[in-house]
Amino acid sequence: MATEADDLKFRDPEAAQELAADIETQMERIDDPVEIMHVCGSHEQVIAKFGLRSMLPSDLSVTMGPGCPVCVTNMPEVDEAVALAEAGTTVATYGDMFRVPGTVKSLADAKAEGAAVEVVYSASEAVEYAAAHPDEDVVFFATGFETTAAPTAAVLQADPPENFYVLSAHKYVPPAMEVVAEMPDTDVDAFLAAGHAATITGYGLFEEFVDEYDTPVVVGGFEPLDVLYGVRRILEFVESGTSGLDNAYPRCVSRDGNEAAMSAIDEVFALTSGEWRGIADIPDANFVLREAYAAHSARRQFDVDPVSGDGDPLTEECICGDIMAGTATPEDCALFGEECTPQNPVGACMVSDEGTCKIRHEYGGHPEL
């Protein structure tokens, strides 16, 4: 399948122009506007950095959906982590989460006020920190999709020290795609699914989605030509009026995915419903620790009682949720680039390197190719 994708060479301008020309011809034949949603911050970085939008016809839009794990982490989840830090535990978390505002403050704010917060690069670094500091209770505030849920699961399976706990805010993408596909304001014709999450899950799991929502899904890689190739493949489905599933990233993605990683996730985590910040309450899209791991569950072992506030008054105006649902762009937000900047972010989309607003702020809407 998709052997052509194997042959593409990275950033070959001729190949890019050829693909763009194909896409333009396809759009002329389709004769209706088409909206493609991708669900990955790394896709957005590639699209913005290489100016791919400026190569596409104006009636073809490629928008970013709920693809930034930091952005969809709900403010009360940040409040929980802040409360644990302020109650005297050491909270370890990924750098991306450090400055994300809760309803009252961020972990960075808590640290500035004296709480113990450690930025770690990996789940195993958090475990090593706990092993090296046996007199501290170390809570790993674990965020991200399948690609980081698997490592969290792995360290819990590997008999971590007693003073190591997990506060899971891990999220599972496929149910969020269903919710976005069902939103009345969203007019998504097809999805470009994230390659590295699919490295874990396999692309086969999108079969049901394609059937149920009659929407094409193409798994795409992260070089500019991968993205353009994925778009062209999607338009083939759109033009023929069929839904279908294709793997345009065979270098890294197989049908069944990484079964070792999936079984680790499945053994450690159960899925539960919960709020994705600004988007919706999404069924079965939040990973929580199973009972067998209760001894390492921060929610089970500590009386987490977060102080919650109303948030920065400016968050009332923040439209992160609409942006992540694909119904608004950063430019539609009155705060974008004004009150809300990477230095002083109001919403999470401006904090994370994978947030739509931060990427747009960094590269602009129509950067140089």
Partner 1 sequence: MCLGVPGEIREIDGTEAVADFWGVERRVRLDVVGDAVEVGDYILNHAGFAIRKIPEREVEETMAIYESLFGDDVDEALDEIGAPRGADIDLGGEQGDAEAEAEADAAVPGDTDGD
**CB closer to partner 1 out of 133 and 196:** 196
Min dist CB 225 to partner 1, Å, is 9
Min dist CB 153 to partner 1, Å, is 8
Min dist CB 296 to partner 1, Å, is 16
Min dist CB 10 to partner 1, Å, is 5
HEC secondary structure over the chain: CCHHHHHCCCCCHHHHHHHHHHHHHHHHHHCCCEEEEECCHHHHHHHHHCCHHHHCCCCEEEEECCCCHHHHCCHHHHHHHHHHHHCCCEEEEEHHHHCCCCCCCCHHHHHHCCCCEEEECCHHHHHHHHHHCCCCCEEEEEEECHHHHHHHHHHHHCCCCCCEEEEEEEECHHHHHHHHHHCCCCCCCEEEEEHHHHHHHCHHHHHHHHHHHCCCEEEECCCHHHHHHHHHHHHHHHHHCCCCEEECCCCCCCCCCCHHHHHHHHHHEEEEEEEECCCEEEEEEEEEECHHHHHHEHHHHCCCCCCCCCCCHHHHCCCHHHHHCCCCCHHHCCCECCCECCCCCCCHHHCCCCCHHHHHHHHCCCCCC
Min dist CB 318 to partner 1, Å, is 19
Q: List interacting residues with partner 1 (CB under 8 A).
A: 9-11, 40-43, 45-46, 67, 69-70, 94-96, 98-99, 108, 119, 121-125, 143-145, 147-148, 150-151, 153-155, 157-158, 194-197, 199-200, 222-223, 251-252, 258-261, 264, 351-354
**CB closer to partner 1 out of 74 and 243:** 74
**CB closer to partner 1 out of 26 and 168:** 168
**CB closer to partner 1 out of 236 and 353:** 353
Min dist CB 251 to partner 1, Å, is 5
Q: Which distant-in-sequence residues (6+ apart) come within 8 Å of 241 by Cβ? A: none
What is the total residue count of the chain?
369
From the CB of residue 193, how many other CB atoms can be counted at a distance below 10 Å?
Answer: 31
**CB closer to partner 1 out of 43 and 296:** 43
**CB closer to partner 1 out of 150 and 248:** 150
Min dist CB 223 to partner 1, Å, is 5
**CB closer to partner 1 out of 96 and 137:** 96
Min dist CB 333 to partner 1, Å, is 21
**CB closer to partner 1 out of 26 and 247:** 247
